Structure 1
Amino acid sequence: MSEQKNTYNGGCHCGAVRYSVITGHNPPVISCNCSICSKKGSLLSFVPADDFKLMAGKDAVSDYQFNTMNIHHLFCKTCGVESFATGTAPNGAKMVAINVRCLEGFDLDSLEPVKYDGKSL
């Protein structure tokens, strides 16, 4: 039996960046300790690019890449919040990393984040 999917709205702090994403009620979430994630404190869930729709803010984000240059860390130019990032999964599929802390009505207390050792990569 497949998990029920829900649509959530999310975005940055100031509201310039807005999106909707289709994901499960309790999706797998990682807490990464790489050099950028450890500083941001993001909790990330990855979704196929087709399950993500940017509704506002295409011109409101600044792109930052580092290390393997595989992930586009997209920060709001106004408030500095990275509510999502884009990239390519190991299998070549386009994906979006959602900072679930930026989703409206999402139950963060129900999550059990998996620790990911990005620092050692």
Structure 2
Amino acid sequence: MRRTYWGGCHCGAVAFEADLDLGLGTVKCNCSICAMHRMWGAKADSDEVRITKGREALTDYSFGGHVAHHYFCRTCGVHPFAYVDIPEDGRRYWNVQICCLEGVDADEVRNAPLTYEDGRSNRWDRVPADVSLL
């Protein structure tokens, strides 16, 4: 069921709202930064995430093809979300870090479909050969 979640970073400098239906599924990617951070996200359309506090406290890190902008709190270093803009196919969405959300129903997440993406090879529509460390 779609609902509005509130979330933020560890130190409280950044806060946001996200309209999500966690029951529709979550995603894990094997690109280098997602794998290093153990990103476990939920996708939201570009208008479904609103930064309500601390936009100035965020820093943006992008690499490679610069299609994903990974935002981090400048104070505590938490990575609450990334914004993805893939011009080749027009996809634009947020990938919200589930662990940064308040009031998440663990059973809903546990029972939701989990999609693995092969971001390391820029093959977002394919499952990586090894997902054991994601």
Query: Which residue of structure 1 lines up, in the alignment, with residue 7 of structure 2?
Result: 10
Q: TM-score, normalised by structure 2?
A: 0.79
- In structure 2, relative to structure 1, the CA distance for the partners of 1:104 and 1:72 (3 Å cut) is same
What secondary structure is seen at the aligned counterpart in 1 of 2:32?
Answer: coil
Alignment-derived partner of residue 94 in structure 1: 92
The aligned amino acid for 2:97 is: N
Structure 1 residue runs of 5 or longer lacking an equivalent are none
Match of 1:31 in 2: 28
What residue in structure 1 maps to residue 18 of structure 2? 21
TM-score (norm 1): 0.87
Output the CA distance in 2 between the equivalents of 1:117 and 1:93. 16
- Aligned pair count? 118
> Structure 2: how far apart are the matches of 1:71 and 1:52?
15
Aligned residue number for residue 118 of structure 1: 119
More helix by share: 2
The percentage of counterpart residues that share the same residue type is 36
CA distance in 2, matches of 1:27, 1:91: 22
RMSD of aligned Cα (Å): 1.7
Q: Which runs of 4+ in 1 moved over 6 A?
A: none
